[in-house]
Structure formats: C-alpha cells, structure tokens
Amino acid sequence: MASGVIFHPCFLLSYYLIGLLVTAHNVPQAQLTPYNGQHLMKVSIGTPPVDIYGAADTGSNLVWTPCVPCNDYCFKQIHPLFDPKKSSTYSEISCHSEKCQLWDGGHCSPQNSCIYSSGYISGLSQGVLAKEKATITSTSGQVVSFDIAFGCGHNNTLHSDVQATIGLGSGPLSFVSQIGSKRFSYCLLPYGTEYTDPSITSKISFGNGSEVVGDGVVSTPFVAGDQYVVTLEGISVGDTYVSFNSSGKASKGNMCIDSGSPMLALPPDFYDRLEVEVKKHISIDPIKDDPNLGTRLCYRTKITNENGPILTVHFEGADVELKPIQTFNRPVKEYEYYCFGITNTANSDLASFGDHYQGIYGNYVQANFLIGFDLETRMVSFKPTDCSKL
C-alpha cells in the first residue's frame, strides 16, 4: 500500500471523527438511481446547494466528488463538477488539524491544505479534504442538513463518467458516521433497470426508522472494523450444498458486503465448485469460445425462475435466497448474453488486491432486498423486497 493512499474495497484504515446527531422525527432519506452497475445516491453540497450523484459504497469510508479545476486526466462527467469557489460554506481543512493528522498521518499541500488520496480498482482520486454543508431529503419531506468533511477531487484517474463516491462504511469519515447515524438501510434495483425503465429509483434511509423488521428478515453479524465483513459458510444450488472451504470450516469474516462492487466475487476453488453445480441445474448449453466473454458463464437464453436454479447464500445465522434475476444479468444490453453475476476473484480486477479479503458480496446479488446495517448491534439484515415499489 502506497503511503497516503487509502484503498478500496473493504480494507480502508481507521479514523476518528465526531459526527452530527440525527433527530428521530426527521429521518434522512436519499434517492438511489441505478447506473452501469452502480447505485447513485443524490446529495446536495454547498451554498447555494449543488446536486452530486455518488456511488453508494459500503466498501469505502470517504465522501468525495470531482471538483473544479480537474486535471487533464479527469474523465468527462455526465453531471457538472462542484466548484468550491461558488459556495459560501466551503472551507479547506488544514493539514495541521486533528482531522488531517488522522488521515494516514496527514499530508500537506504547499498551501498547508490537507491532501487525500483514495485508490479504487478503476483508478485514483486525489485532492484536498474540506468542510461543506450537505443536504438530503427526509421521510417528512423536509430538507436535513449536516456539516461534513469530504474530498474535493482535483486529480482523478478513474475511467468513469460518474466518479463521486458516498462512502457508507462504518469508519468515522464515512457519510453514515459523520451524520451521527447508528443504522441505515437501502433497497437496490436489479441490474439493467435503467434500460427497461429509467424513471424508477429506490431509497436509502438513515437513523431511527430505517430498521429492517417484519416477516422474512434474517440477520448475520459483522466483525469489528471499518467495513461490513461477514462470514459466508456456503451456497446451495437448489438442494445441493457447496461449502465455502472444501478442506474445512470457513474462516470468520471472509466476505465483505460491498454495494460499490457489482459482482459477487468468490475464491477460485469455491467458485469452480459452485459453477459446476450451477451448470448441472441449467439444461441449456452455455456459450463457448466467445472472446468477448472470456471465462464467464453465459447463455444466449435468458435465465429465469423456470429454467434457472435458486441459490441460497448461507451466512452465519442467515440464509438468503437468490433468484435468477439476482444471479444472472445481461452485461451488455446490445447483445443477447445472459451471464452469471458471480465471478472468480482470480479472473477479475479484484485479484490485484491480494489477501486483504477472501470475497466480495457485490450489488448484483443485493438487488431486491431491503438491507439494513446496525452499527450498535453490528448486524446486517436482509428482507426480500420489490425495491421498485418502495
């Protein structure tokens, strides 16, 4: 890990920051819009407020957005860049402040501003840490405001037309911690919803009133740390159980729940054994020798409840049932490919992160569940839900 760079996903460093309290009568709630494998959370920052759309990301702990000026490598954005000079509430954080010193020891610009670097699979964001006013809507229809520290990115090499990130981890610089929320929940729309009906959005809620309760709720504990790292014991394909570890019991904390990563990524041995069983439960022949697909398991026929298997994810104390809408998707809308939304970490960009984790529970398989995170009880809860109807 390079000095001064905080890497995503699921193994960021720890920080300490006191957040603002959320009142129980005005539960903050923001819109989530699916976009190219991400779910964009709408937040307004600055005075006057400017809307930013950042990837809702439980696998990281920083709120940041591209800012004016953005360097020559800055990928063209579909939303306007935030211009700090146009906001009366913007102020940079000094590199001599406590907050900056807690950001990997603190790094100074020539102007004594606090410098941040945040690394992702798709690139790097660098800029200054700053204070700003952030606003979102609430369940009562009123606007809720918070003062937050965020990254104003001036040097960004991410190859994406939406680069802003809303870190939702449990670390003190995350959006969750800074607004003083001890719990939050979200409901993600299935991949490709934006192609079939771009008007549909879903919600993320914070604080009291965001609990996931009622019939069908199952919960699993997450281990101490800045991310939501849980224990996956195995996955059943129909009635056939496939254990996480073929040579023994699964280790604690082997899976990070990461809404900022699309795929469910599994270690090679586990994935290979799972794929064998999935193929057995689908009578259609998979596509072979297509250079566009590489080693992905794909079919030319849509996989549905009628011709595809039900997968049951066995977390510690919680069984989560996945239907084909969550485990098979159409990765490129121009082609009639329907591909398995679970991947082998060795055959993906995730392999570059080495031994920091064993697997990622990405947003494809989180779709159509109301998922709640409780930072006090350290539990993650799942409730099957049609997210388009919330």
Phi/psi of residue 233, nearest 5 degrees: -90, -30
Residue with tokens 């690394």, as numbered in its chain = 119
CA 14 to chain CA centroid, nearest Å: 18
What 3-state class would DSSP assign to 263?
coil
Active site residue 374: no
Contact present, 125 and 163 (Cβ < 8 Å): yes
Residue with tokens 């037309």, as numbered in its chain = 161
CA 373 to chain CA centroid, nearest Å: 13
Catalytic residue among 104, 226, 258, 374: 258
Q: How far apart are CA 74 and CA 60, in angstroms?
A: 21
Q: How far apart are CA 138 and CA 142, in angstroms?
A: 6
Catalytic residue among 51, 57, 104, 215: 57
Q: Residue 178: which of 166, 165, 164, 162 has the closest Cα?
A: 166
Task: List Cα–Cα distances, 125 to 112, 122, 128, 314, 324, in angstroms.
Answer: 19, 10, 10, 36, 35
Active site residue 57: yes
Contact present, 208 and 48 (Cβ < 8 Å): no
Q: How far apart are CA 214 and CA 231, in angstroms?
A: 23
The secondary structure of residue 74, as a DSSP letter, is P
Q: Angle at Cα 167 formed by Cα 166 and Cα 170, nearest 5°?
A: 145
CA 38 to chain CA centroid, nearest Å: 8
The gap between the terminal CA atoms of the chain, to the nearest Å, is 41
Contact present, 239 and 321 (Cβ < 8 Å): no
Q: Determine if the peptide bond prior to 331 is cis (ω within 30°).
A: no
Tokens of 283: 């009578």
Sheet of strand 328-329: strand arrangement: 298-299, 338-340, 328-329
Task: List Cα–Cα distances, 182 to 64, 213, 274, 317, 379, in angstroms.
Answer: 21, 16, 36, 22, 11
Active site (catalytic) residues: 57, 258
